[in-house]
């Protein structure tokens, strides 16, 4: 998995399991299929994916993505998160941390460790 800071670094490709987010091309792919997202949805997903083990507060997301033009009580993030979850086909991609903010689902940030030798690997004979 490649990571970016998401809060001001140069765009990169972030790969999480079957999700690929290309910061330069501003393209989201899931299982090698392009997922059509709005500009704000892209920025929201990229920011969360760039900080995979961090809960990003609603306030941070609003400031980064919407700038100074937002209301404290705005539910716009909830709407965008809901839309992204639907487009990605699962609510588990983006996790709500009640009273704090959002993060990428941790199940998608870890690559499973191999259990044994790779298929076709020669074994020692006794």
**Contact partners, residue 3, CB within 8 Å, separation at least 6:** 12, 14, 50, 51, 52
Split at pLDDT 50, 70, 90, the class of 1 is very low
Distance CA 63, CA 67 (A): 4
**Contact partners, residue 43, CB within 8 Å, separation at least 6:** 64, 65
Stated pTM of the model: 0.76
Is the pLDDT at 4 greater than 80? The verdict is no
Q: How is residue 47 annotated by DSSP?
A: H
Tokens of 19: 């999700």
Q: pLDDT tens-digit profile of 5-38?
A: 444 556 799 998 889 999 999 999 999 999 999 9
Is the pLDDT at 111 greater than 50? The verdict is no
Output the CA angle 84-19-107, nearest 5 degrees. 90
Distance CA 19, CA 50 (A): 12
- Give the phi and the psi of residue 88 in degrees, each rounded to 5: -85, -5
* Pick among 1.10.540.10, 3.90.420.10, 1.10.10.10, 3.40.640.10: CATH of 13-108: 1.10.10.10
Which pLDDT does position 109 carry in this prediction?
A: 57
Is the pLDDT at 3 greater than 50? The verdict is no
- Give the phi and the psi of residue 60 in degrees, each rounded to 5: -60, -45
């Amino acid at each position: 998995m490649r990571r970016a800071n998401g809060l001001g670094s140069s765009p990169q490709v972030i790969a999480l399991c079957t999700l690929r987010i290309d910061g330069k091309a501003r393209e989201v792919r899931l299982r090698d299929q392009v997922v059509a997202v709005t500009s704000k949805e892209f920025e929201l997903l990229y920011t969360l994916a760039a900080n995979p083990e961090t809960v990003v507060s609603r306030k941070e997301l609003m400031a980064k993505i919407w700038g100074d033009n937002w209301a404290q009580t705005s539910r716009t993030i909830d709407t965008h998160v809901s839309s992204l979850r639907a487009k990605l086909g699962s609510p588990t991609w983006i996790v709500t941390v009640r009273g704090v903010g959002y993060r990428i689902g941790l199940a998608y940030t870890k690559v499973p460790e191999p259990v044994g030798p790779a298929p076709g690997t020669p074994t020692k004979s006794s």
